[in-house]
A and B are shown apart, each in its own frame.
Chain A
């Protein structure tokens, strides 16, 4: 038999990207999104979520690594009933940069 032995995932060497999600604003949405990343063993470096002014929608920003599974993760995100839209930005996007002051 060919032994199936785990190899540790080495995501840290990949570039980072920022995902911007429009979602329905109700309890449980965050749990669907976090769970998706957890069960597919895809690391989430940062997360930020605030309701939009209308109140029935929220926007979620995710900071993730750009490994070869990112496309698959985006497709899985798009499948969630409460995710209305996923946009992809480069790491230069300022949303997390501007937050960094709070993390020193």
Chain B
């Protein structure tokens, strides 16, 4: 017979589930759980400086490992501070288990100190959530939280545990089994055959890969399908890395900031094979005018994504890897010389342009210089804004899980804590976070965590002293009425970093920025690399919000 408190039980269940690192911040209502965690020799706790940072560290770990990772927060403001990181995980389908302390059961509903209804607040931003009412329920709830987070389309689960439940002592005979992924939906052979037939008969097919390819570990199968059937392949922001960008069949990222030729290839296609993508508005522009002449084959593990934005001619509900495995033997080998020649002609006529790529003091040049100094083993994270789109356009992503970015929610402040998480999950890799000054300041406090953990994280800060993408949109679409997008003050980021105990270098002052950058990237340990960029440089091409993808401006 085992006898322990609810808090000890949670720690034991997390250990058994394979959790090795937890990011979080303690507070009154979660102190019993922290007390129990202090007794664990297996789990390493990383003390964040803001709960949102802890949530993004757990996300960074999960985006690299592919497994559910855990963050802790106390009740009230601790829990509400997690909300953005949870919503971000929901939109990008990241497996996350958030455990929050709650006021004791008898005090729930009394407006007690640091009481909020985090259960109610997280209903729309979690796959599922729990308010645990007895320690015995934990035996079921904790494994269930992991099972839900990693099964089907991954996502976040919140478990809210009142303080008295953490302290309650229970006896039980044996631990529940370690949670495993539920089986994927069974794929119907007729649908696979229908999809194969459409691919075999199409004249101008395009393969459209989404984040589901990464989550399902299906990048190799996707590349095989493209090669076998001669499919030009586009990737969403979330799918970058699933096919190496320099693969001859890659036509790069589609959508709002995709290359002109990519959107033109899609416009001419007669069959769109959408794999693990969800026709997001930033990817497809105006839905009614996206791929107007194409039939659609849509593969997704989430049945509610099928027919949601575009009706599919063949809709396959299943795990992307399993579906592609079943599809591959039925797809004919085709060279498609005519169509690929047309794609090549479009690429030549409307190429992606990287002006000043050889100048490391320009935005594309800086990204290029970082890539030159690293190999494909490095992990790249970004914040959100112009720098994110430039990195998405210009960085040579060549493997899945090389690229971590906040896609669906677009959360400024994601990049640095996610980079910390990535470095915790993969300490052997160099992790580079591209950030902008606006984003960086939204979770800048995690520099303290970085200094403490001495992780191999480099922050490349592209500083234009503005909310650059807002500034861009005001210039392009709001009659140049620039308002609330330029900062008046200019913080000294080098001194800020040094104040936190992080070495910092200024590329502006470097005589040879390329060499200085390479040396900083190759020195183990944390570093802030500061580079000023030109505020008047905009992200091009750009599809205006609400327009069709073929109505690009610039680039």
Contacts and interface: CB of A to CB of B under 8 A. Distances in A.
Interface of A: 1-4, 27-28, 31-32, 35-36, 39, 71-72, 75-76, 78-81
Given A28-B131, A72-B307, A72-B308, A1 B546 contact: yes
Interface residues of B, number: 22
Nearest to A27: B131
B304 A72 contact: yes
Nearest to A32: B123
Q: In the A-B complex, list the 5 residue pairs whose CB atoms are closest, starting with the nearest.
A: A75-B304, A2-B546, A1-B477, A1-B544, A81-B128
Contacts of B129: 28
A79 B302 contact: yes
23 contacts: A1-B477, A1-B545, A1-B546, A2-B544, A2-B545, A2-B546, A2-B547, A28-B131, A31-B120, A32-B123, A35-B123, A35-B124, A71-B307, A72-B307, A72-B308, A75-B304, A76-B304, A78-B303, A78-B304, A79-B302, A79-B304, A81-B128, A81-B148
A32 B148 CA distance: 16
A90 to B, nearest CB: 22
Nearest to B305: A75
Contacts of B302: 79
B500 interface: no
B119 interface: yes
Contact of A4 (B120, B308, B545): B545
Q: Is the interface of A mostly helix, strand, loop or mixed?
A: helix
Given A1-B547, A4-B546, 9 more contacts: A1-B476, A2-B545, A2-B546, A31-B120, A35-B123, A36-B124, A72-B304, A72-B308, A75-B304
Tell which of A1, A27, A31, A80 has the most Cβ of chain B within 10 Å: A1
A60 to B, nearest CB: 16
Contacts of B477: 1
Contacts of B123: 31-32, 35
Q: Is the interface of B mostly helix, strand, loop or mixed?
A: mixed
Contacts of A71: 307
Interface string B530-555: 00000000000000111100000000
A76 B308 CA distance: 11
A55 B302 CA distance: 31
Interface string B288-327: 0000000000000011101110000000000000000000
Contacts of B304: 72, 75-76, 78-79
A79 B124 CA distance: 13
A2 B127 CA distance: 34
A78 B547 CA distance: 33
Interface of B: 119-120, 123-124, 127-129, 131, 148, 286, 302-304, 306-308, 476-477, 544-547
A17 to B, nearest CB: 18
A3 B307 contact: no
B31 to A, nearest CB: 25
Nearest to B157: A81
A80 B302 CA distance: 12
B149 to A, nearest CB: 11
Contact of B119 (A28, A36, A39, A81): A28
B138 to A, nearest CB: 15
Nearest to B152: A79
Nearest to B476: A1
A31 B120 CA distance: 7
Contacts of B544: 1-2
B91 to A, nearest CB: 13
B376 to A, nearest CB: 36
Nearest to B478: A1
A37 to B, nearest CB: 11
B222 to A, nearest CB: 25
Nearest to B308: A72
Contacts of A1: 476-477, 544-547
B340 to A, nearest CB: 33
A34 to B, nearest CB: 9
A4 B477 CA distance: 12
B125 to A, nearest CB: 9
Contacts of A81: 127-128, 148
A40 to B, nearest CB: 9
A78 B303 CA distance: 9
Nearest to A73: B304
A2 B542 CA distance: 13
Nearest to A40: B124
Nearest to A80: B128
A27 B311 CA distance: 36
A71 B315 CA distance: 14
Contacts of A78: 303-304
A39 B547 contact: no
B481 to A, nearest CB: 13
Tell which of B129, B304, B476 has the most Cβ of chain A within 10 Å: B304
A76 B148 CA distance: 15
A31 B123 CA distance: 8
A4 B544 CA distance: 11
A57 B547 CA distance: 47
A13 B148 CA distance: 38
A79 B127 CA distance: 9
Nearest to A3: B546
Contacts of A79: 302-304
B205 to A, nearest CB: 27
Contacts of A80: 128
Contacts of B476: 1
